[in-house]
Structures are given as structure tokens and as C-alpha cells.
Amino acid sequence: MLIRTTVLSIGVAVMLAGTAHAQAIGVGTGPQASLTNKIGSAIAKVIADGAGLNTRAVPHTSNSQHAPLVERGTLTFGVSSSGDIVDAFAGKGAFVGHKISSKWVIASRMAALPVGTLVRKDSPYRKLTDMKGKKFACGFTAQKTVLAILNAYLGNAGMKAGDLNCVNVPNTTAGTAQFLKGNVDGTPSSLGGARLRNAAAKVNGIRILKMNNTPKGVAAMQAAYPGSYLTKLSPKVIGVEGETWTMAFDMILMTSTKTPADVVYKSVKAIHGGKKGLIKIWGGFRGFKQSAMAVKMEGVAIHPGALKFYKEVGIKVAK
């Protein structure tokens, strides 16, 4: 009887271990085929390969939708911008009415994401002020983060939405589609290589508008989108003509205080060693710096599991 009971106990333990190992770990992202979805897919693949965890990207209509799920521990991870994180804790922007609590914490800084405004190469537009009264993709009802980014562009240029001839679209995918069809003269866009190459090929060349690199311009941009900064684009980037400064912000992998420390530890360790795998899926990860994974944002904690790994490999927490 004792032998049968022992055997049964071992069998149950093995079954539970197998269940735990097979449990899916989700990485919340924006819509399918969006840039944040690509970033999340890269992270999920690297965690799955490097940590042996059953991980997959989970797309949502907007990036703000997965934050509450991650906070509650329903979803293990989520890809969020530094601006979204500031708004989430303040209950502003896309998070009005559902402020996020301190249970939402940082796992790792991933990469800087440059964003800008696209126009056709054969157009006369060089900066946003040149587009007063011109048709421009606006609205972004399904992506309030992009609306905040547009407001940051406008603030940087000393403009307001009324200065543009707005054509309302739900998201950046629709905005790009309207741009390619010739229905708008300009549209906000991430500045990833594939998207720029596709757009340039279809409209016979594109130009990225220059932003205002002055203290006043930067302050106005940051007031509209906290955590943003200006970055100088490489001349090799498609659409760059001369010295071009544009907006950028950090993409950060968030998790919950409810997420087990070993899951976070194994995940950030896999990310730390998986840069080549990240780059295979999104070229923007060439700018991923392992030494800068432990980012500190005011009022936002770093998960203990992540801190344990960072301490082991000598990564210091940096603002």
C-alpha cells in the first residue's frame, strides 16, 4: 500500500511539473503586425529558446490594453513605451479612469524606438510647419499612444491639431495606407527599416521631416509625451536628407509583482544572451544594450527576479 501511494505521489508530481513547464507565458503587444507586436514576438522567441519557457506574443488592439492584464498577473509580460508607463501611473492619456498600481514593474529596458513624420520625397515639405493646412493622418482612435506622439510632434513645432487638415484614421496602419494611396500628404510612423523600405518603394521615395532641436522644442515635446527625447538619425536611414533630428523613446518589458522571481530571472537572462535572436526578427534591436537593461524610472520598481540577475552580471541600475 505504501509503495502504491508513493508511486502515485511521484506520478502526480511529474504531471504537475509537466503542467507548470507547459504553462504559456504571454508577452502583451500592440495589434498583429504592428512594430510592438514584432518587438514582442522577438522577445517571446528569445525567451522560449534561451529559457525553455513556453512563451508567445499576445496582440491587443492597443498597447494600453495589455498593461492592466500584466499588472494583475493575468499576462506575464507586456511591451510598453516609457511615455505609456508615465501616463499609466498618473492615470493620464490612454489610462484615464484606470490608473495602474505599483504592482506593475520593470523587467528590462529593450531598445529605443525612433518615430517621425513621413512625406513623399518629391513634396516641398521639410518640417512640420510646412504642412499647415495640408492633409495629415490624425485621430488614432484605436491607438491613443500615437495621438500623444502626434501632439508631441505638434508641440515641438509650436503647432496645434487645428493647423493641419486632419484625416481621421484609427491607427498607424490605416494612416500609412492613406499615405500610400495619396489621400494624405503626411503621416506619423515608426522608423523601422522594413516599413520605410515598403513605403519608399510604393511612392517613389519618402522624406522624414526634421524636428526642432532646441530647448523650447524639446520641452514642448516632452510635456506632451513624457520620457521622450530627440535622436539624430543616421544618414543611412531611408528618408533622411541632411541632419535630421526626430523623436524617440524607450520600449520597456513590464511585468507584475505577482510574476514568480524565477520566471523573470530566466527571462531576462535569456534576453541578455539573445541579442542575435532579437535582431533576426527586428533590426532595431541592433541598438539593444545589455548594459542598459536595468533602467530606473521615477516611481517604478524593478522586479526582484530581474534585479537578482543584473546584480550577478554586474549591470548597474541607470536612469
For position 6, what pLDDT does the model report?
A: 36
Residue 8 lies in a domain: no
Residue 68 lies in a domain: yes
Distance CA 266, CA 252 (A): 17
Percent of the chain predicted with pLDDT > 90: 78
Domain check: are 137 and 158 in the same one?
yes
Distance CA 149, CA 132 (A): 18
Average pLDDT of 57-61?
A: 94
pLDDT tens digits, 66-117: 999 999 999 999 999 999 999 999 998 889 888 999 999 999 999 999 999 9
Average pLDDT of 179-200?
A: 90
CB 118 within 8 A of CB 199: yes
What is the total count of domains within the chain?
A: 2
Domain check: are 242 and 256 in the same one?
no
Q: Which of 199, 228, 248 is the last residue of a domain?
A: 248
Contacts with 164 (C-beta within 8 Å, 6 or more apart), sequence order? 131, 132, 133, 134, 135, 136, 138
Residue 318 lies in a domain: no
Domain check: are 240 and 181 in the same one?
yes
Which CATH number goes with the domain that contains 46? 3.40.190.10
Contacts with 71 (C-beta within 8 Å, 6 or more apart), sequence order? 100, 101, 103, 104, 256
Q: What are phi and psi of 142, to 5 degrees?
A: -95, -5
Average pLDDT of 117-139?
A: 97
In three-state secondary structure terms, 218 is: helix
Distance CA 233, CA 56 (A): 32
7 pLDDT band (50/70/90 cuts)? Answer: very low
Residue 107 lies in a domain: yes
61 pLDDT band (50/70/90 cuts)? Answer: confident
Domain check: are 150 and 223 in the same one?
yes
For position 22, what pLDDT does the model report?
A: 52
pLDDT tens digits, 269-292: 999 999 999 999 998 899 999 999
In three-state secondary structure terms, 318 is: strand
Domain check: are 72 and 129 in the same one?
no
Q: Could you give the angle at the alpha carbon of 238 between the alpha carbons of 234 and 240, nearest 5°?
A: 55
Residue 119 lies in a domain: yes
Average pLDDT of 38-52?
A: 97
Q: Which of 248, 265, 299 is the last residue of a domain?
A: 248
CB 119 within 8 A of CB 209: yes
Q: Which of 196, 221, 248 is the last residue of a domain?
A: 248
> Structure pTM?
0.84
The answer, yes or no, to whether residue 131 has pLDDT greater than 50, is yes
Residue 49 lies in a domain: yes
Domain check: are 244 and 273 in the same one?
no
Residue 148 lies in a domain: yes
In three-state secondary structure terms, 250 is: strand
Percent of the chain predicted with pLDDT > 70: 92
For position 12, what pLDDT does the model report?
A: 38
Parent domain of 149: 114-248
56 pLDDT band (50/70/90 cuts)? Answer: very high
Residue 269's CB is within 10 A of a number of other CB atoms, namely: 20
For position 109, what pLDDT does the model report?
A: 97
Q: What is the mean pLDDT of the chain?
A: 90
Domain check: are 102 and 188 in the same one?
no
| 36 or 51, higher pLDDT | 51
In three-state secondary structure terms, 62 is: coil
159 pLDDT band (50/70/90 cuts)? Answer: very high
CB 317 within 8 A of CB 302: yes
Distance CA 158, CA 216 (A): 9
Domain check: are 176 and 223 in the same one?
yes
Domain check: are 257 and 298 in the same one?
yes
Domain check: are 107 and 256 in the same one?
yes
Residue 215 lies in a domain: yes
Residue 178's CB is within 10 A of a number of other CB atoms, namely: 18
Domain check: are 100 and 159 in the same one?
no
Domain check: are 121 and 174 in the same one?
yes
